[in-house]
Chain A
Amino acid sequence: MSTETARLRLKTWICATVVVLSNVFGNFFMKRGMPAHLSTPLEYITVLFQPWVALGVLLLVLWTVARMALLSWADLSYVLPVTAIGYVLVALAGKLLLHEQISVQRWAGITLIVAGVALVSGGSTPQSRTTGAVR
């Protein structure tokens, strides 16, 4: 039983890491390649073939697949808060790699998000009994 718990914990941790990193770098590359204006619907399609945007989209596809796999055994109300650390990493990417100005309020907001994440993930198990029917 404890081996099973440890296996599930490791699997959950690895999958959550892939979910977070693919999300952060996917968003970063998308923003990096995105032009300042998108006016026609056609431009929304053609910009997908811009190399940075395409790389970002590929990472976001990986994010979606990894997240779906994670959701097949973990609760949505566990996955959401745990992967929220990505919001902080995205802000750091914006500041360090895209040289965005981040105000004091924005950093305070990010800190609150981290606190919320710590509160929610502490002491909760990655699965709930209500999903037991499928096992």
Chain B
Amino acid sequence: MKFVLIAIIVAATTVGEVLQALGMRHHGEIHDFRPGALGRAAALLVRNQYVIGSVAAMAVSFFAYMGLLTIADLSFAVPATAVTYVLETVLAKYVLKENVNWLRWAGASLVICGVALVSL
């Protein structure tokens, strides 16, 4: 059951993150942190279809995460969901077309090994 929930969380989070990054990139850099300007940015973002899709995926991930928290330790649940790193780094490179150099790949690989150990 733990690992079913983790699989749901990882899949939904990855889809959500990539859609969120696409949506925020579409919006552009946020320069103005005054409440009015943030409100206007939020009003634009709730109509951004990438952001809407991202929120839906995050909701799925959130409720699966709540289920996981009831049956697992905090120090297991949170690191286990870091499996999203590999999937997200791959998608950052091939969907978002970001520059992912070998150091980032090596780091992501180490993070994954760490997550595997945490799951033991």
Instruction: Give the interface of A toward B (CB within 8 A).
Output: 27-28, 30-31, 34-38, 44, 47, 60, 64, 68-69, 71-73, 75-77, 80-81, 84, 86-87, 90-91, 93-95, 98, 100-103, 105-106, 108-124, 128-131, 134-135
State how many angstroms separate the Cβ of A101 from the closest Cβ of chain B.
Answer: 8
* Cβ-defined partner of B103 (8 Å) among A36, A60, A120, A129: A120
Size of the B side of the interface (Cβ < 8 Å), in residues, is: 55
* Cβ-defined partner of A116 (8 Å) among B25, B100, B111: B111
Report which residue of A72, A100, A105, A119 has the largest number of chain B beta carbons within 10 angstroms of its beta carbon.
A72
A116 to B100, CA, bound (A): 14
Q: Which residues of A contact B104 (CB under 8 A)?
A: 77, 81, 120, 124
State how many angstroms separate the Cβ of A67 from the closest Cβ of chain B.
Answer: 8
Q: Cβ of A119 and Cβ of B114 under 8 Å apart?
A: no
Q: Which residues of B contact A123 (CB under 8 A)?
A: 103
Q: Cβ of A38 and Cβ of B70 under 8 Å apart?
A: yes
Question: What secondary structure prevails in chain B residues at the interface with A?
Answer: helix
* Cβ-defined partner of A80 (8 Å) among B30, B62, B88: B88
Q: Which residues of A contact B107 (CB under 8 A)?
A: 81, 115-121
Q: Which residues of B contact A124 (CB under 8 A)?
A: 101, 103-104
Q: Cβ of B88 and Cβ of A76 under 8 Å apart?
A: yes
8 Å CB contacts to A: which residues of B83-120?
85, 88-89, 92-93, 96-101, 103-104, 106-120
* Contact sample, A vs B, 27 pairs, CB 8 Å cutoff: A27-B77, A35-B70, A36-B70, A44-B63, A44-B67, A47-B66, A72-B25, A75-B92, A76-B21, A76-B98, A77-B98, A81-B85, A93-B74, A102-B75, A105-B117, A105-B120, A106-B117, A110-B118, A115-B110, A115-B114, A116-B108, A117-B107, A119-B103, A119-B110, A122-B103, A130-B98, A134-B29
